[in-house]
Amino acid sequence: MEQLKTIGRELALSSQVGWGSSKEFLDLVKAIGEAKSKAEEERIIIADIELLRKKIGEPDVPRRKMKEYIIRLVYVEMLGHDASFGYIHAVKMTHDDSLLLKRTGYLATTLFLNEDHSLIILIINTIQKDLRSDNYLVCCAALTAVCRLINEETIPAVLPQIVDLLSHQKEAVRKKAVMALDRFYQRSPSLVSHLIPEIRQKLCDRDPSVMSAALCALFDMITAESEPFKNLTGSLVSILKQVVEHRLPKLYDYHRTPAPFIQIKLLKILALLGSGDKHTSENMYNVLGQILTKGDPSTNIGNAILYECVSTLSAIYPNQKLLQHAAELTAKFLKSENHNSKYMGIDALGRLIKINPECAEDHQLAVIDCLEDPDDTLKRKTLDLLYKMTKSSNVDVIVDRMIGYMRTISDAHYKTDISSRIIELAERYAPSNHWFIQTMNQVFEFAGDLVPAKVAHDLMRLIAEGAGGEDEDADNQLRSSAVESYLQVLGEPKLPSVLLQVICWVLGEYGTADGSHSADYIIGKLCDVAEAHPGDNTVKGYAITAITKICAFEKGAGRKVGLTSECRSLIEELSTSHSTNLQQRAYELQALLGLNDETVATVMPMDASCEDIEVDKSLAFLNAFVKSALEKGARPYLSESERLSIGGITTLASSNNQNDLSHSLRFEAYERPQLPVPSLSSFQPTVVREFEDQRTTNNNLRATYAGHSTSMTDTQLVNTEAASLRLDGIQKKWGRPTYNNTPASSTSSADRGRSAAGNSPAEFSKDEPVESSLKSAVESRYVTSRKQRPEISEEKQKLAASLFGGTFPKSQSSSRSSGSTGKVSKSSHSRSQAPHIGANEQSAQMRSANSSTSIDKGHEKSLPVSQNLATPDLLDLGDGDSAGPSSDPFKQLEGLLEVPSTAMPSKPVIPQQVPDLLSLYESTPSSGSPSINLIG
């Protein structure tokens, strides 16, 4: 029966096909419809394209036939094939006198061409002519094409005609003309800005559809700048009032709702106008209230208006009564069975909590239901909401959820998005360093290649710096737990390169530090990493450097280093690598093994990645050398400006000036090095380090490495500067809040422990002021969330409490969330166990005590970074024994870690803060070194 009907319909269709489709075309459509597979469909289409290509190019194709060909081209293009050979014919068809053909021509061109296509220029003339046509249908067709095809350059060609059409007698034409102006405004605001009065005038057009088009245009203009349109508020409000009161023609009703699309547009504009403007907003309260009460929540369109009204209310200057109403509405949305309503409810809630964070409290369970809903879209929206309401008390739960979700998706776009959010939240609110490291590991594991390299560097830096230095034991524990977790992670089959780099670095630096793993074991692991990633030179570089470090530590501690055959063959392989960088690292390892133990211990001391290195930018240590050179008759040094005025050497980089002399031949030979790029080769900082070391050394290694040294000094100097720039950047990108916060919160946990033991908490409290106020809010809420507990299932209660209540997430989360938080409690310092023992209330009290004292400290903390660097009393942070933030040890780390991909002839790898090594460059004759220049 069904089939009969279909056949009947087809017959009816083909008989009325008058519109120009021939049998041929119908057959094509049918064949495609019946195609069994994608391949078959492709074949049919490709055959048709060939046919069309041939036929369309024939001379004297009848016009009607041509029209059909064009429609077939549209069809072909719609199915995703290229029909560009026919574009010109579509353009030609717009010239046709017959409306039908013209309309088809315009349709095809608007579908085929983008506004930057080169054929557009051919169509301008036709459009100009058609815009002046007597037939309003021709005008409409041309206007539709204008909206799609006119670009910035061609706007002036049609603008006058369109302005004329604003007063066309047909409303359909006026409406489209206004829309065309809106489109022009989007393309190039300056070209139509003089027409704003005309567009405003169109608000009073006698036809509502023209008014609606004017609203579209005004919306775009007000989005760009609301100030000049504030005086429209009154008229817009009165229009909205009229619409709501059903004064527009019935024609514009939609499901018995008066002109809903116009209402929504108006609400959007009012939201823009009233944002942060009390006076303007007050004018709107009345009509907004009217919409809220009149709104029909039983229809979809009614809900659309109500939702828009809620978002307007949350955007304008708040009115408590209306917001209350909006909150009730939101609650209704959330309670609805309909997923669409729930979705809108979550969205509305996200808007309302910006004004009043408390309002989420009432909807805890609804939110959790949405979070656990099988609907992916709803879940994402809810995670969005959670992201907006994250604070330090619930960050672990929320991040845990986000990671859990990230694990399940494959959409790279959203994964990037969510991983960057997790990182942001973790950096901002991390309760402890442990937690931060665990979280980051998970992010790397699931979204590895989508995470920016900077995050990895921040992580390594955190591990190296620890909690800020005052608690060395805790730092060591942190490191060994990091090592443990990485050894575990290495068991996973496929790991992203970034994570492997972090792992290698941490294993190299701290793998043997706590003595629980033998050097052979760690080296074995590192060899495995290098072998498992034959194509990844960066990872290999990290691995071999890590091995070098471990060997050095072993030797430094006076133990014998016996390399396994596996490791030897790796070194062998790398020393013949195509990458000079890897080669060099391998040779350095071999050279290091040949040194005596004491030297090695000085060259590569344990855990020195954070040590301070002073940079003597004035190169005072060269003074004696310079002096003697001058005495021997060398020319004196000229600063860059002087040089330029003399020789006009412009190619010289400004940073070369410190020791380059006027030996003009040398200048061109060395390219200005790039600023360090975090992801690839930032071996410059290493160079800096080496260079610094140069000064402070004794020369015992000089001989060994003399052979390697080449044109170092020029680049070194440049890099001194680059690195100092970088220093600021790093401080900044790590972000003040995090940087303070991470150590702060761990301190505060220790602090809690102490206060339990009866010590004064004041000297330790370092919470930020914001955090403290949050905490007290949290505390007050704790009571409410407790009250609600009994009725609901236990798991949800817990989740709700940790999301919303927030006062006792610590004790709960450690039992609930498996990986991350559990570890925190396990391996954190013994004193920080206190909060677990001291029950919720106690810890809450402490928190509040903590927060009250923290406020004044918080002020201090808001010192600008630069000042921080300068002042010695760095608010507890700096007085630890490992380096405080002032030294920015990270740049040194980077040097160690990064594998330079450029084959620069320096030696990034060699060691850490070793005083000794570098003096070698001082005297080694190298083409670019200052000595030569001086003498020459």
Partner 1 sequence: MIHFVLLFSRQGKVRLTKWYSPYSQKERTKAIRELSGGILPRGPKLCNFVDWRGLKVVYKRYASLYFCMCIDSEDNELECLEIIHHYVQILDRYFGNVCELDLIFNFHKAYFILDEVLIAGELQESSKKSVARVIAAQDSMVDAAKEQMASLSNIIAQATR
857 binds partner 1 (CB under 8 A): no
310 binds partner 1 (CB under 8 A): no
Structure token digits, residue 701 = 């290694």
Total of residues contacting partner 1 (CB under 8 A)? 80
CB of 204 vs partner 1, minimal distance in Å: 18
Structure token digits, residue 540 = 């290999």
Nearer to partner 1, 159 or 378 (CB): 378
Member of 174, 183, 479, 549 binding partner 1 (CB under 8 A): 183
CB of 729 vs partner 1, minimal distance in Å: 27
Member of 19, 121, 224, 569 binding partner 1 (CB under 8 A): 19
Footprint on residues 50-69 left by partner 1 (CB under 8 A): 64
387 binds partner 1 (CB under 8 A): no
Per CB under 8 A, which region of 142-150, 807-815, 826-834, 921-929 contacts partner 1? 142-150
Output phi, psi for 253, to 5 deg.
-70, 150
Identity of residue 331 = A
180 binds partner 1 (CB under 8 A): yes
Per CB under 8 A, which region of 140-148, 560-568, 633-641, 715-723 contacts partner 1? 140-148
339 binds partner 1 (CB under 8 A): yes
879/890 Cα distance (integer angstroms)? 18
Per CB under 8 A, which region of 229-237, 334-342, 697-705, 787-795 contacts partner 1? 334-342
Query: Are 878 and 886 in contact, with CB atoms under 8 Å apart?
Result: yes
**Extended beta strands in 545-585, E state:** none
Nearer to partner 1, 375 or 598 (CB): 375
Three-state secondary-structure class, residue 253:
strand
Member of 69, 87, 343, 782 binding partner 1 (CB under 8 A): 343
Nearer to partner 1, 99 or 703 (CB): 99
Structure token digits, residue 104 = 């088809």
Footprint on residues 216-235 left by partner 1 (CB under 8 A): 216
704/791 Cα distance (integer angstroms)? 76
94/131 Cα distance (integer angstroms)? 13
- Integer CA distances (angstroms), 307 to 267, 291, 334, 915, in order: 10, 11, 12, 67
CA 353, distance to chain mean position in Å, is: 23
CB of 768 vs partner 1, minimal distance in Å: 31
Member of 59, 374, 633, 758 binding partner 1 (CB under 8 A): 374
Nearer to partner 1, 183 or 363 (CB): 183
Binding mask 542-581 for partner 1 (x = CB under 8 A): ----------------------------------------
Footprint on residues 156-175 left by partner 1 (CB under 8 A): 171-172, 175
185 binds partner 1 (CB under 8 A): no
CA 490, distance to chain mean position in Å, is: 27
10/34 Cα distance (integer angstroms)? 14
309 binds partner 1 (CB under 8 A): no
Footprint on residues 77-136 left by partner 1 (CB under 8 A): 77-80, 82, 98-100, 103-104, 107, 111, 114-116
CB of 504 vs partner 1, minimal distance in Å: 34
CB of 395 vs partner 1, minimal distance in Å: 24
Binding mask 263-292 for partner 1 (x = CB under 8 A): -x---x------------------------
244/288 Cα distance (integer angstroms)? 10
Member of 51, 133, 198, 252 binding partner 1 (CB under 8 A): 252
Count how many residues are written for the chain: 936
Q: How many CB atoms lie within 10 A of CB 22?
A: 14
Nearer to partner 1, 111 or 489 (CB): 111
Member of 161, 303, 602, 892 binding partner 1 (CB under 8 A): 303
Per CB under 8 A, which region of 73-81, 397-405, 468-476, 545-553 contacts partner 1? 73-81
209 binds partner 1 (CB under 8 A): yes
Member of 340, 679, 704, 901 binding partner 1 (CB under 8 A): 340
Q: Are strands 257-258 and 253-254 parallel, antiparallel or unpaired?
A: antiparallel
46 binds partner 1 (CB under 8 A): no
140 binds partner 1 (CB under 8 A): yes
Structure token digits, residue 593 = 């093994």
23 binds partner 1 (CB under 8 A): no
Member of 182, 400, 475, 916 binding partner 1 (CB under 8 A): 182
708/907 Cα distance (integer angstroms)? 8
Output phi, psi for 319, to 5 deg.
-125, 115
350/384 Cα distance (integer angstroms)? 8
Member of 45, 155, 162, 179 binding partner 1 (CB under 8 A): 179
26 binds partner 1 (CB under 8 A): yes
Q: Which residues contact 797 (CB under 8 A, 6 or more apart)?
A: 788, 789
Member of 91, 378, 425, 846 binding partner 1 (CB under 8 A): 378
Nearer to partner 1, 246 or 789 (CB): 246
826/107 Cα distance (integer angstroms)? 68
Member of 1, 4, 33, 206 binding partner 1 (CB under 8 A): 33
Query: Are 31 and 79 in contact, with CB atoms under 8 Å apart?
Result: no
Alpha helices by DSSP H, 430-533 = 433-447, 453-465, 472-489, 497-510, 519-532
Member of 344, 437, 550, 589 binding partner 1 (CB under 8 A): 344
420 binds partner 1 (CB under 8 A): no
Member of 194, 413, 560, 632 binding partner 1 (CB under 8 A): 413
Nearer to partner 1, 350 or 431 (CB): 350
Three-state secondary-structure class, residue 275:
strand
29 binds partner 1 (CB under 8 A): yes
Member of 168, 174, 202, 380 binding partner 1 (CB under 8 A): 380
Member of 377, 639, 866, 902 binding partner 1 (CB under 8 A): 377
Write the DSSP string, 13-77.
HHHSGGGT--HHHHHHHHHHHH-SSHHHHHHHHHHHHHHHHHHHTSTT--HHHHHHHHHHHHHHH
Alpha helices by DSSP H, 409-471 = 412-429, 433-447, 453-465
CB of 595 vs partner 1, minimal distance in Å: 55
For the chain, how big is the Rg over CA atoms in Å?
36
251 binds partner 1 (CB under 8 A): yes
334 binds partner 1 (CB under 8 A): no
Nearer to partner 1, 187 or 672 (CB): 187
Cα angle 864-866-872, degrees, rounded to a multiple of 5: 100
29/23 Cα distance (integer angstroms)? 10
Structure token digits, residue 215 = 């609203």
354 binds partner 1 (CB under 8 A): no
Query: Are 753 and 440 in contact, with CB atoms under 8 Å apart?
Result: no
CB of 22 vs partner 1, minimal distance in Å: 12
Footprint on residues 433-452 left by partner 1 (CB under 8 A): none
Nearer to partner 1, 48 or 876 (CB): 48
Member of 262, 402, 551, 774 binding partner 1 (CB under 8 A): 262
Output phi, psi for 515, to 5 deg.
80, 0
Write the DSSP string, 638-697.
--HHHHHHHH---SS-GGGGGT--S-HHHHTTSPPPPPPPSSS---HHHHHHHHHHHHT-
Q: Between helices 713-734 and 736-756, what is the axis angle to 10°? A: 60
DSSP one-letter code for 804: I
